[in-house]
Structure 1
Amino acid sequence: MSVRGVPSPMRPPTDTGERPMVLIWEVTQACELACEHCRADAKPGRHPDELSTAEGKALLDDVREFSENQLVVLSGGDPMQRPDLVELVEYGTDIGLTMTLTPSGTSALTADSIEALSAAGLKRMAVSLDGATADAHDAFRGERGSFEETLRAARAATRAGLPLQINTTVCAGTVDELPAIAELVADLGAVLWSVFFLVPVGRGRILDPVSPQRTEDVMTWLHDIRADVPFGIKTTEAPHYRRVGLEAREQPTDDQPPGAKRRAGIIAGDGFAFVSHTGDIYPSGFLPKAAGDVRTDDIVDVYRNADLFEALRDRDRLTGKCGACEYRHVCGGSRSRAYAATGDPLASDPLCAHVPERWDGEAGKSDVAGD
């Protein structure tokens, strides 16, 4: 990994130039729900060009070259729509990968299916709660009954011995629900609450984000409650939560459940990679700028050497406020949101309220801007 400029004392020691901390495989775009924020713009039916079972196993074999215990998240759409899901989990487990899952809260997510996934070696399951009541959650998910299905699945995961993660989207329509959702996360016995700040891609383009100042307030609140809740807290597509922690003169606990080994945070392309249902290799599912295709390219080589990934790992190539920011090596801003807003993945994150002392008001433009 090549990094330009004088190293910052805040630069975290990581090996994210060699392997992603998190690799997500979108196994399908098929889903029964019609969620307002859906990145995948999911459809009821499966795409005819989805990676097959054999291609999926070949992908997992390739991913194993990153690390024996590489973390793999199977996502969608709704991964429960793939009849080979248990087979894929078992295969990944058998070759030494850490297999986790983010299913949708539908009738397909039964106690029996969760038991089968647990028996196949699944290490964690994450479900989404975007409201603390059935009315709020179901309206956001576009399906009556989704709230109750999600709660049933969460409890079934706990009974099956699976660590439970809860994901929540933060936008103007959900932000007031956060304190009540936090109580529900605790009641369900979750080990981690992942708080996702909306990126306007897919159907999420029609939703209203929270303002930068409201974002700051939410992050301060998350930082304040973290010591009093029985679960870990992380933010997704909002790495400036680390700055909030540093400004409070403490290291933030934004990416690990209690008791886990602390590590540096990650952003799109830097500790994070995404494979689409048809095999495209992206820095993130929220940054749909392809750097390769697993059917023709080596995913390890793409992650380590593709120009886009190398650029995203070089925080000194950021432009605008993010490029001038003293926290860029521990934060880096959401590259996905920058891309969604400007077409340039190295531009400033428009959701950040922080104004760096070195900021001169010049936005600038990188050499990897979109078409």
Structure 2
Amino acid sequence: MIRTFAAAMYGDITVVHDPAVGTNHISPQPLPAGRVSLDDRQVAAWSLVDLALLALLALEFPLSMCWSPIVRCNLACPQCLDDKSVRESTAAERLTLARHIAASGILGVDISGGEPLLLRDLPDLALTIRRQGTSVVSCTTNGWHLARRAEEIAGAVDAIRVSLDGATEDTHDTWRGPNSYQRAITGIHAAVDEGLLVQLQMVLMQSNKHEAQQLVDLAAQLGAGGVTFLQMLPIGDGAALAAGQMLTDEQAQAVVEPLTVPDGVRVRLRTRQSAGGFTVLRADGYAWRNTLGATGISAFVPVTGPADLRLPTSRSDS
């Protein structure tokens, strides 16, 4: 499949960001800077940017980041890592922050929350970032409102990441509440019908790891491009569940590595190790980065211009 990625040159190294999977790859040949159309199978075969290379690149800005412009959510997931006491920016402030992100030249921006599909201005925010021509934009959602907004956002984002806490209705709804699974599945169908690239995401826990293979098979059935398994972070509400639900990175790898992956589906495990140093811009306009091991936060600064996204870090989500 030919789809949109973001590319940039760092010295003599060309890095390409995948907005669906959230990975950064090394291109074997130079590419034009900015948004580029590439074969996703070709990109998947390229080497990933590793932590040693990140240190050598001496990046001015992170390769990718998460922006959570909303705190509100229609669900109340007990493993949520968001700080719900944070003030939400106004619509005008959100637009200003989107312009700062666009001007920074960061390759990949994932708009999350809270629940970003509750924002009426979500398409405008995504397009503001994309208009600079250097970034690709994804959106992470619980899928509840995806069916009614799929057509509207299809031209604004480059990929949709839908969170599922299990491959079955019983497992997912145990965590997210009644009807949340069916609403998410309906939304995925609508997004695929609109031509949106969909990536399923599941926070790996002791209670759902047995459904990992089913989720990969479900992605193929739904027409999704792949599955990202996220290691649980002991932050926010999720800290209370960590002792009983959190897997070590080694345990998570033992779950993911044996999976049978259907043709056309990409599977990624984001370990806590690789999440160390990842940059987050939260709803009140303050940016921070994960500490090593992603067990806390550091470099907490207000973003008043593009330069404030230059958080000191030798690591990024690769």
Normalised to the residue count of structure 1, the TM-score between the two structures is 0.63
Indicate the residue corresponding to 1:122 in structure 2: 157
Tell me whether 1:11 sits opposite 2:69 in the alignment.
no
CA distance in 2, matches of 1:77, 1:286: 20
1:202 deviates by 1.2
Instruction: Structure 2: give runs of 5+ residues left out of the alignment.
Output: 1-49
* Structure 2 CA distance for partners of 1:220 and 1:98, relative to 1, 3 Å: same
1:26 deviates by 0.3
1:147 deviates by 0.2
Indicate the residue corresponding to 1:300 in structure 2: 307
Contact 1:280–1:290 (CA under 8 A) maintained in structure 2: no
| Helix, strand or coil at the partner of 1:110 | helix
1:7-65 deviation per Cα after TM superposition (whole angstroms, max 9, x unaligned): xx98236746222222111011100101121011558xxx6x32222222222222223
Tell me whether 1:34 sits opposite 2:76 in the alignment.
yes
CA distance in 2, matches of 1:10, 1:289: 18
| Helix, strand or coil at the partner of 2:52 | coil
1:200-234 deviation per Cα after TM superposition (whole angstroms, max 9, x unaligned): 1111122223453xx52441442343665532122
**Matches of residues 244-255 of structure 1 in structure 2 within 5 Å?**
none
Amino acid at match of 2:237: R
Indicate the residue corresponding to 2:221 in structure 1: 187
Q: Flag as ranges the 4+ runs of structure 1 deviating above 4 A.
A: 226-229
Indicate the residue corresponding to 2:170 in structure 1: 135
1:198 deviates by 0.9
Amino acid at match of 1:116: E
1:274 deviates by 0.7
**Matches of residues 212-361 of structure 1 in structure 2 within 5 Å?**
212=248, 215-225=249-259, 228-239=262-273, 267-269=275-277, 272-284=278-290, 287-295=296-304, 298-303=305-310, 306=311, 309-310=312-313, 312-313=314-315
CA distance in 1, matches of 2:256, 2:81: 24
CA distance in 2, matches of 1:16, 1:226: 37
Tell me whether 1:202 sits opposite 2:236 in the alignment.
yes
* Structure 2 CA distance for partners of 1:211 and 1:301, relative to 1, 3 Å: closer
1:270-303 deviation per Cα after TM superposition (whole angstroms, max 9, x unaligned): xx311010111111497333421114xx443452
Contact 1:192–1:231 (CA under 8 A) maintained in structure 2: yes
Contact 2:147–2:188 (CA under 8 A) maintained in structure 1: no
Pairs aligned (count): 262
1:87-110 deviation per Cα after TM superposition (whole angstroms, max 9, x unaligned): 21232222323221112232x323
Tell me whether 1:105 sits opposite 2:143 in the alignment.
yes
Amino acid at match of 2:172: H
**Matches of residues 47-58 of structure 1 in structure 2 within 5 Å?**
49-58=87-96
Indicate the residue corresponding to 1:149 in structure 2: 183
CA distance in 2, matches of 1:60, 1:135: 38
Normalised to the residue count of structure 2, the TM-score between the two structures is 0.73
Contact 2:256–2:269 (CA under 8 A) maintained in structure 1: no
Larger radius of gyration: 1
Contact 1:291–1:302 (CA under 8 A) maintained in structure 2: no
CA distance in 1, matches of 2:116, 2:295: 18
1:235 deviates by 2.0
Tell me whether 1:86 sits opposite 2:93 in the alignment.
no
User: Percent of counterpart pairs with the same letter?
Assistant: 23
Higher strand share: 2
Contact 1:57–1:88 (CA under 8 A) maintained in structure 2: yes
CA distance in 2, matches of 1:146, 1:267: 27
RMSD: 2.9
Amino acid at match of 1:100: S
CA distance in 2, matches of 1:276, 1:147: 27
Contact 1:63–1:300 (CA under 8 A) maintained in structure 2: no
Instruction: Structure 1: give runs of 5+ residues left out of the alignment.
Output: 1-8, 240-265, 315-329, 332-371
Contact 1:28–1:76 (CA under 8 A) maintained in structure 2: yes
Amino acid at match of 1:291: F
Contact 1:226–1:233 (CA under 8 A) maintained in structure 2: no
Amino acid at match of 2:52: R
CA distance in 2, matches of 1:90, 1:302: 19
Contact 1:195–1:234 (CA under 8 A) maintained in structure 2: yes
* Structure 2 CA distance for partners of 1:42 and 1:292, relative to 1, 3 Å: closer
CA distance in 2, matches of 1:233, 1:302: 29
CA distance in 2, matches of 1:234, 1:58: 33
* Structure 2 CA distance for partners of 1:64 and 1:138, relative to 1, 3 Å: same
